[in-house]
Amino acid sequence: MDVMIPAVGVPPESRRRIELGLEGMTCAACAARIEKALRRIPGVEASVNFATETASATVGSAVGPEQLLDAVERAGYHAVVRRDAPAERAADRARKAAAYAELKRETWIAAALTLPLLAQMASMLASGDWLGGTSAHAEWLPRWLQLALATPVQFWVGRRFYIGAWHAARGGGANMDVLIALGTTMAWGLSAVVTVLGLEHRHVYFEAGAAVITLVLFGRLLEARARSGMSAALEGLSRLQPATARVRRGGATLEVPLADIAVGDRLIVRAGDRMPVDGVVREGTSSVDESMVTGESRAVAKVPGSTVFAGTLNQDGLLECEATGVGSATLLAGIVRLVAEAQGSKAPIQRLADRVAGVFVPVVVIIAVATWALGYWLIGDASAALINAVTVLVIACPCALGLATPTAIVVGTGRGAQLGVLIRNAAALEQAGRLSLLVVDKTGTLTEGRPVVAGVVALDGATRSRVLELAASIEQGSTHPLANAIREAATRDGIVPRPLRAFESVPGKGARGNIDVGGKEIVVIAGTLAFLTEQGIGAPDAGALQSIGNTLVGVAADGRIVGMIALADRVRPTSAQAIARAKAAGIDVLMLTGDNPQVAAAVAAEVGIDDFRADVLPADKAATVRALAARGRVTGMVGDGVNDAPALVAADVSFAIGTGSDVAVEAADITVVRNDLNAVVDAILLSRATLAKIRQNLFFAFVYNVLGIPLAALGMLNPVFAGAAMAASSLSVVGNALLLRRWRPKQ
């Protein structure tokens, strides 16, 4: 299988893409702040992904990475340039693992210090007053001990919130850390003043501040663990290549690092080993499991001349392969690069969430101040009003809002890669999820794209062998796919072509020339029946043959027709099933083909397509797709040839069969690696499932804040409960997105 992967996302030469890894983001407001800082640089277009902690910037020739890094630093965060090298990915994993270990240790310390404080809330919970935070409750611990327990939680464990808040404020913005730092500091400060001044009649809220910090950290811990599973598919692909390979050099077989393999090296791949690079089999036979690349579970037989791909598993034979693609030029590297770029992109549906997140924190601070002022004015209790304001600050964190879309995209595109579906960006995924009309090409999409001889009709006393012999002899001078099919049929029948003495090709019609038959030259013509008629050769009625979907080649010798050869491009065995699945999903299917109406009708009937158009030129295909899209329907186009590229560009979302031409793959939004229209249907259904998760997540996130903030402002929530709810909201969004990892296409 000759799979081609596009050099995705490559801007014009005057512009280039720079990827950044980001550190210090705690919520969607952070991502919005960094994105705004990068876009302030002249000539920079930037997109920040909170879920993957990355930024993608397209810059002009006058902008360097240093300017981007400086802009991020000035915004209060840290960034490094990502080059996607294996060593860099390993270092990034190690850094995240160390940060996770530190967060885990501090979370457990905070929990140990906070637990005695929370024990005092048992009486409040037992009394049913868990919504409000102002009722007196039995204090089992002396207040000086409560102060001693809460202070290290507030200022040592919680220092990360102060650091983050300072960086955000220094950069002129506000984020989740600002909300947590303000809220918990106010609760701790009020309680500390009451304790130091000995105001026994006033309430203290040490457990509120400490519990909020502990619960937020615990939520981050669970969130980090859950988010580590988002890119599991991509990480799994990245680890498929072995670190070393057995290379034959100078008559000896050496084990060398992967980086030392060059194009042209001969590699020895034993049974049970993974292919280290892309290559061509030169010696040996085996079966290779390519499911991790194509999503196809069946093993593929490999013989000399077969193509193999890095990361695939050699099952039961010894192969000697010649390296044809190494390093970043392998199919596997292309898939990883494509999926990584898709995971870092933004879907149009995320724009609303981004706009909200950009102004959310300042608005929440204003609401909190108003809550305190109005509460104090209405109830005359400054401490109670302050706790209500604290609760507003705690519960209003926009983390869930920032995670809603990117988490689903990361998991969805990763799952697609496992199934052999490569999605260029999040916008393509969203469009595919809304698709209602699928336009398909015939040749190479519904059919195998490789004509074969389906039948031979001998006329005027000739035999089948005679017709094939004459046709194969004249077609020696042609490279047309029909000529190749005729020569292959003759070879299978053991027919040796006659020497060709002269040859002339007539594009679009056929060929003529002289062949040597026993020392005598005869004139042979092979081509369309219309071409034979132009040459003054009468042709019989071929309606019966053409009605079964065959292309006909007439064969004439010395001015008289001797036979006709019927050629057919066989329909793929899975095409009918794919069309049925598309219809079941409510997708209308239209076939466009440049072939004649008889052939088009036969193929359409075989695969179950009700609507088709034949004799369509490439330019007309594009015009047809544009007209369909202009009617307001989200239109997809599937193709594999150079002639499909204009139509692919014209469609709302385009799909390329991975075995297609480079031009078709470059023009497409989604590439399916395996040569099966079912993979296109899988891509559409996966996109729908991902889009559904995005909508669910956005609903959860918006409803959480819409309901939570008013309840907190009215004094109906305890700060501790607010902290737990905030952590749970982010975790629920990530967990909901992770369910996509279990998605399976329905056959």
Predicted confidence (pLDDT) at residue 24 exceeds the cutoff of 70: yes
Give the pLDDT of residue 208: 75
The answer to whether 414 touches 233, Cβ cutoff 8 Å, is: yes
Q: Which residues of 158-172 are buried (b: 16+ CB within 10 A; e: fewer)?
A: bebbbebbebbeebe
- Return d(Cα 351, Cα 145) in angstroms, integer: 48
Sequence-distant (6+) residues with CB within 8 A of 42 are 63
- The fold for domain 450-571 equals Calcium-transporting ATPase, cytoplasmic domain N (3.40.1110)
pLDDT of residue 688: 94
Q: pLDDT band for position 542 (50/70/90)? A: low
Report whether CATH 3.40.50.1000 matches the domain 423-447+572-689.
yes
Structure confidence at residue 231 (pLDDT) = 60
**Whether the Cβ atoms of residue 680 and residue 638 lie closer than 8 Å to each other:** yes
Q: What is the pLDDT of residue 12?
A: 45
Distance CA 608, CA 595 (A): 18
Task: Write down the catalytic residue from 278, 441, 595, 644.
Answer: 441
Please provide the average confidence, as pLDDT, over all residues in the chain.
80
DSSP string, 421-490: EEE--HHHHHHHHT--EEEEEIIIIIEEEEEEEEEEEE-TT--HHHHHHHHHHHGGG---HHHHHHHHHH
Q: Which two tokens stand for residue 16?
A: 């280039």
Which pLDDT score, from 0 to 100, does residue 295 have?
Answer: 59
Please indicate whether the domains covering 15-91 and 423-447+572-689 agree at the CATH topology level: no
| Share of residues in the chain with pLDDT > 90 (%) | 16
In this predicted structure, what is the pLDDT of residue 619? 67
Lowest mean pLDDT segment, chosen from 70-74, 149-153, 171-175, 551-555: 171-175
pLDDT score of 173: 67
Residue 8 is predicted with a pLDDT of 40
Show the tokens assigned to 711.
Answer: 């309840």
At which residue do the structure tokens 């994105």 appear? 35
User: What pLDDT score was predicted for residue 197?
Assistant: 85
pLDDT at 524: 92
pLDDT in tens, 511-526: 888 998 878 889 999 9
Whole-prediction pTM: 0.69
List, for residues 94-133, the tens digit of each pLDDT value: 777 888 888 899 999 999 998 888 776 655 455 544 444 4
User: What is the Rg, in whole angstroms, of the alpha carbon atoms belonging to the chain?
Assistant: 34
Average pLDDT over residues 626-632: 84
CATH class belonging to 242-329: mainly beta
How would you classify the pairing of strands 551-557 and 300-302?
unpaired
Band of the pLDDT at 19, cuts 50, 70, 90?
confident
Give tens-digit pLDDT for 457-507.
Answer: 888 888 999 999 999 999 888 877 788 889 999 999 999 999 888 888 887
Q: Are 392 and 364 in contact (CB under 8 A)?
A: yes
**How far apart are the C-alpha atoms of 255 and 248, rounded to whole Å?**
9
Q: Number of helices and strands (H, E) in the chain?
A: 26, 26
Please state whether beta strands 611-613 and 588-592 pair in parallel, antiparallel, or not at all (unpaired).
Answer: parallel
Right CATH for 15-91 from 3.40.50.200, 3.40.190.100, 3.30.70.100, 2.40.50.180: 3.30.70.100
Residue 10: what pLDDT?
40
Q: How many CA atoms lie within 13 A of 297 on its CB side?
A: 0
Contacts of 574 (CB under 8 A, 6+ apart): 676, 677, 678
Q: What is the pLDDT of residues 234-279, one digit of tens each?
A: 666 677 778 888 999 877 888 888 888 889 999 999 988 889 999 9
The amino acid sitting at 257 is: P
pLDDT value at residue 642: 53
441 is catalytic: yes
Q: Calculate what percentage of the chain has a pLDDT beyond 70.
A: 84
Task: Give the pLDDT score at 473.
Answer: 92
**Residue ranges covered by each domain of the chain:** 15-91, 103-231+340-411+690-742, 242-329, 423-447+572-689, 450-571
* pLDDT band, very low/low/confident/very high, at 660 (cuts 50, 70, 90): very low
